[in-house]
Amino acid sequence: MSEFETYTAPPPAPEGAASREERQWALFGHLSALTGLFTGGVGNIVGPLIIWLVKKDTMPFASDQAKEALNFNITLLIIGVILFLITLLTFGLGVIITAPLGLLLFIAWLILTIVAAIKANDGIAYRYPFTLRLVK
């Protein structure tokens, strides 16, 4: 930098808008659910839960988004258990219906999680469709 160039810091976030760090933690809140791919599904709940518990008192936007991801993943867990029970109760014949539904559920989960992470990184509070808001 020459002596004539001056560095100007970016303007602060407008009042009520999420800071860059808070948006990043919100992004982590959504993406942490993807750890379920490597942990047998446990990470789907544990990842967002940890971020929500750690950030709930300091970062309202990150807390809200982690809680939203937690509620979404709990809802999908409930649906998955129901599909599994239908398969069991029909002595495996229900798999004709539950397997394609489970695959569609997985694809929807993956797409909606990525969309939510992108929106959260942009500072937009994302709400998953068809989600039970169990954690208030």
Q: What is the pLDDT of residue 16?
A: 64
In a domain, 24, yes or no: yes
The reply to whether 128 falls in a domain is: no
Average pLDDT for 116-131: 95
CB-based contact 24:60 (threshold 8 Å): no
| φ/ψ bin of 40: left (φ > 0), alpha (ψ from -120 to 50), beta (otherwise) | left
Q: With respect to residue 7, please indicate whether it lies within any of the assigned structural domains.
A: no
21-44 as b/e, with b when 16 or more CB fall inside 10 Å? ebbebbbbbbbbbbebeeeeeebb
pLDDT of 26 > 80? The answer is yes
> Which pLDDT does position 136 carry in this prediction?
87
Domain count, the chain: 1
Task: List helix spans (H) across 90-129.
Answer: 95-121
Q: How confident is the model at residue 11 (pLDDT cuts 50, 70, 90)?
A: very low
- Which pLDDT score is estimated for 8? 52
The answer to whether residue 111 is domain-embedded is yes
Where residue 17 falls among pLDDT bands split at 50, 70, 90?
confident
pTM (two decimals):
0.85
| Rounded Cα distance, 67 and 124, in Å | 15
Helix (H) or strand (E) holding 54: helix 43-55
Residue 37 lies in a domain: yes
> Domain span at residue 106?
20-121
**In a domain? residue 9:** no
